[in-house]
Structure 1
Amino acid sequence: MAGVSKCMKYSMFIFNFFFWVCGCIILGFSIWIRVSSAQQGIDSSMLGGVNLLIAVGAIIMILGFLGCCGAVKESRCMLMLFFIALLLILILQVTAGVLGAVYKPQVEAALNLTLSEAVNALQSTTGEYKEYQEEFQKLQKMYQCCGLKDGPEDWGQNFDKQKDICQCEVEKPSSSDLCTTYRSRYVYKKSCGEVIMKQVKDNLVIIMGIAFGLAVVEILGLVFSMILYCQIGSK
């Protein structure tokens, strides 16, 4: 009867250790995106893909550990559990990608609605959204932007009441690339909505790249685990 290939056994172990490290990276990166997006005032309902990656990263960590133990102990049960769970994750990733493409118009509509509600909060003069307005002004200074959709117009009457709203604080405020003149005041030219959307798109590109690379790794894991499973069975 054929024995278990030592090369395959330890290749499986090294692969799953790498798999576990990938899970740690995905989990940490996804949490960072989640926290930074929340600080920028992005609605949590718009971060479904990030939340999914957090869950996937945590599960991958567990699977990597399971695969390492299964390879070292030559446990067919653990290897089969690893194979099934990995296959389910791969199916889940493909499903999430398809759903993201299908519901893209609904996501964009929800984002526009969120931006409109945020603009109404900036224009409010009742004091109900005072804390939100103060936090948004900090964001404007940090990213050198103004308003969400239409620049300083998004602040409505509050723009005239507070002289530091959108105030351009660079050495050359007349720079056409960064600042512009609005009601005799130098203000940042770019809207914060553009900045937020750019960061969301950049993060999506990174997430898509991670998901594609992860799919390749998962397929290799399925192949290795099944080969080792069969070798242990014929031992």
Structure 2
Amino acid sequence: MAGVSGCIKYSMFTFNFLFWLCGILILALSIWVRVSSDSQGIFNSTNVSSSSNAAVDILIAVGAIIMIMGFLGCCGAIKESRCMLLLFFIGLLLILVLQVTAGILGAVFKSKSDLVINETLHENTKFLSTTGESAKQFQQAIAEFQKEFKCCGLVNGAADWGNNFQQDPKLCECLDTQRPCTNYNGKQVYEETCISTIKDLLAKSFIIVIGIAFGLAVIEILGLVFSMVLYCQIGSK
């Protein structure tokens, strides 16, 4: 009877070891985003806070699942366990189906994302001009964002800050002569508003996510093929 191909066996192990490392990376990055004050600050006072947190929580779960799947695949290949390989195949197939479904939903949502972003940021512009304690974290996050990306305000530039601009006129101070500046209340501030920068960052992030998802789908299909071939070979020994 045919034996188990060493090439398939160790290819399967290598694949799953890399898969396991990917799970660790996704889990680590997701946890970092979840606890990072910088990533949370901008949306903490907005209507998208719960949805953004839910998305990160989903990624944490995905990272943990991928780690488990990688472990099952590695052990199944080395120990030639049909049970582990079958569990790996079923789990990976479910992940692939969910991933394709999420990709379709994401593509549908992409056409509406600009409208959602516009509505959200326009609505939360008011937090920049308020003086309450509840808005301070949001204001601090936007101020740091302005310094890093050399933009000013969310929608209407420095005017979004209202009287808070008088309290801290360095909020949008234009220090980069290579960027377009404008005069506001006698101060040189960045002309570009942050809403366009945020849109660009989200668009780039969306493209990166699509690329990663496509790459993972190819790897997952290879994993399905390897696991089924190895499963059949073990059964025919």
TM score, norm. by length of structure 1: 0.86
AA at the equivalent of 1:227: V
Matches within 5 A, 1:174-213: 175=178, 177-213=179-215
Matches within 5 A, 1:125-136: 125=131, 128-136=134-142
Are 2:210 and 1:229 equivalent residues in the alignment? no
Are 2:78 and 1:72 equivalent residues in the alignment? yes
C-alpha distance in 2, partners of 1:214/1:139?
A: 31
TM score, norm. by length of structure 2: 0.85
Are 2:95 and 1:89 equivalent residues in the alignment? yes
1:117 alignment counterpart:
123
Displacement of 1:26 after TM fit?
3.1
1:84-122 deviation per Cα after TM superposition (whole angstroms, max 9, x unaligned): 000000000000011112233554443223212320111
Matches within 5 A, 1:55-66: 55-66=61-72
AA at the equivalent of 2:182: T
CA RMSD of aligned residues (A): 2.4
1:3 alignment counterpart:
3
Displacement of 1:161 after TM fit?
4.6
1:38 alignment counterpart:
40
C-alpha distance in 1, partners of 2:222/2:133?
A: 57
Displacement of 1:39 after TM fit?
4.0
Contact 1:167 1:188 in 2 (8 A): yes
C-alpha distance in 1, partners of 2:9/2:132?
A: 68
Contact 1:123 1:157 in 2 (8 A): yes
Aligned residues: 231
Q: Which runs of 5+ in 2 are unaligned?
A: none
Q: Which runs of 5+ in 1 are unaligned?
A: none
1:116-160 deviation per Cα after TM superposition (whole angstroms, max 9, x unaligned): 232011122456524432443233223221101121121233334
C-alpha distance in 2, partners of 1:12/1:169?
A: 54
1:169-206 deviation per Cα after TM superposition (whole angstroms, max 9, x unaligned): 34x4xx5x342222321001221222222222222211
1:16-54 deviation per Cα after TM superposition (whole angstroms, max 9, x unaligned): 112212222333344455545324437332466554443
